[in-house]
Amino acid sequence: MKKITCCLFTLTLFSITAFAQSAAVDKNKVMDFFQSQQFDEAVSYLTPAIAADTKNVQLLGYLGYAHYMNDNTREAENVYRQIVLVDPDNIAALQYLALLTKNDSPNEALQYTRRLILLRPAKAGYYRSMGELFKRKDEQDSAFVYFSKAYSLAPKDYKNGVGLADVLIDRKEYTRADSVTEAGLEQDSVNLSFLKLRIRSAYNAGDFQNLRTPGEQIIRMGESPLTALTQLLIGYYNLKLYSDCIRVCEYLNDKGYMVDNVIYYEAKAWAKLKDYDKSNALLRVCVNLSISKSAEMYYYNLALNYESLKQYAKAINQYDTAYYLFKNPVMNYNCGRIAEAHLHNMQQAQKYYQRYIAEAKPTEADEIKAYAYVKERWGKKKTTAAKK
C-alpha cells in the first residue's frame, strides 16, 4: 500500500484552488478514513456528496486520492480528468494524471507534464519526468534536453544527476557522464545509483581500471547489483587480475547469484591460474545452469519417437544425451533395454545396465520390478551374461 504521509500533502493542493466544501461532508471524518487506510469507506462516504456537487474540486480530489490509494487506477484517472475539466490548471490533478498514464499512455503523460512545466517552469522534477518519458520512448535527444534542464535547475538533487548521467552514457559521452557522477559522489560517496553509473560508463568505454574504485565501494557496502558487479569482474579479468575476478565471482555466489555468466568467468580465471580441475568443475556447473531441466523430457520424448520409428541407434543417442546432462540413471536403463531387446547387442546392453545398477535407487513399483530383473541378469560382470 502506498505511503499515506507523502500523499496527504498533495491533497492540500486541492484545497488551495478548491470550491467551497460541501456542508454534507465532514473534512475531519475524511482525514480519519485516510489515516486509518479505510479507502473503501471514504469512497462510499464521498460519492453521494459529489453526486450532488459534481464540480467541487476539493471533494473530487479526496475521491481521486481514495481510489488511487486503493489501487483503483481507472477510477482515479476518471476523477482527476473530471477535475481538469473544471480546473485545467489544477497542479495536483495534472501530477496524478501524468503519473497514472506514463506506462500505458506515455504520449498523454507527456501532455500533462508539459502543462505542469508551463505552470511551474522553475520546478526541476517536471523536467526530469519529461526526460524519463522521452527516454522510455527511446527519444534520446529530447531526453537529454530535459534531463540537462532538470540538472541545471537542481544539480544537488541526485535524481537529476542520475538521469542526466544515464542518458549521457547512452549517447557515449562518457567524460561528461563521469563528471556528473563524480560530482554526485562528492556529495554522497555511497550513492549506489551513481556508483553503478560510474561502473557502466567505465565498462562501456573500455576503461577497466576505473571500474575498480566504485566496484570495491559497492562490495564494502555489502550491496550486490548483478550487472554492475558482473562488469567489475569482467574488468578484472581483462586486466589479468584473476584472483580479484574470482573474489568478485565468489562474492556474488555468496549473495545468491549462481548465474552462468558469473561462474563462467570464474572458471576462465581459474584456468588462467592453471587450476584446470576447478575450472572444469565450474564449467560443468555452467552447462547445468544453461540447460533447462525440462530439456531432459524433450530428449526423452525424442528417444521414444525414434524407438517408435525403429531408429534405435538414434533413440540411444537421445537417452545418452539426457543422461549426460541430467544424470538420471533411468536413461541408462532405457539404453540397455533397446540394446538388449532390439539391437541384440548384449555387450552394449551389459555396459548400460551395469551403469544403471550402480546409480539407481528405484521407488516406483514398475522401476523396482525392472531393477530386480536387471540386477539378477546383469548385476555381475560375467562374460556369460552377454551371451545369453
* Model confidence at 4: pLDDT above 60: no
Q: Kindly report, residue by residue over 209-228, the tens digit of the pLDDT.
A: 999 999 999 999 999 999 99
- Rounded CA-CA distance 359/381 in Å is 16
- Half-sphere exposure of 223 toward its Cβ, with a 13 Å CA cutoff? 18
Mean pLDDT of 305-321: 93
Q: What is the mean pLDDT of the chain?
A: 90
Residues found in the chain: 388
Q: Kindly report, residue by residue over 97-121, the tens digit of the pLDDT.
A: 999 999 999 999 999 999 999 999 9
Model pLDDT, residue 381? 53
Model pLDDT, residue 3? 45
* Model confidence at 60: pLDDT above 80: yes
Mean pLDDT of 130-153: 96
Full DSSP string of 233-280: HHHHHHTT-HHHHHHHHHHHHHTT---HHHHHHHHHHHHHTT-HHHHH
- Rounded CA-CA distance 249/266 in Å is 6
* Model confidence at 138: pLDDT above 70: yes
* Model confidence at 309: pLDDT above 60: yes
Q: Other CB atoms closer than 10 Å to residue 14's CB: what's the count?
A: 23
- Element at 357 (helix H, strand E): helix 346-359
* Model confidence at 7: pLDDT above 80: no
Model pLDDT, residue 182? 97
Name the pLDDT band for 286 (thresholds 50, 70, 90): confident
Q: Other CB atoms closer than 10 Å to residue 40's CB: what's the count?
A: 12
* Model confidence at 352: pLDDT above 90: yes
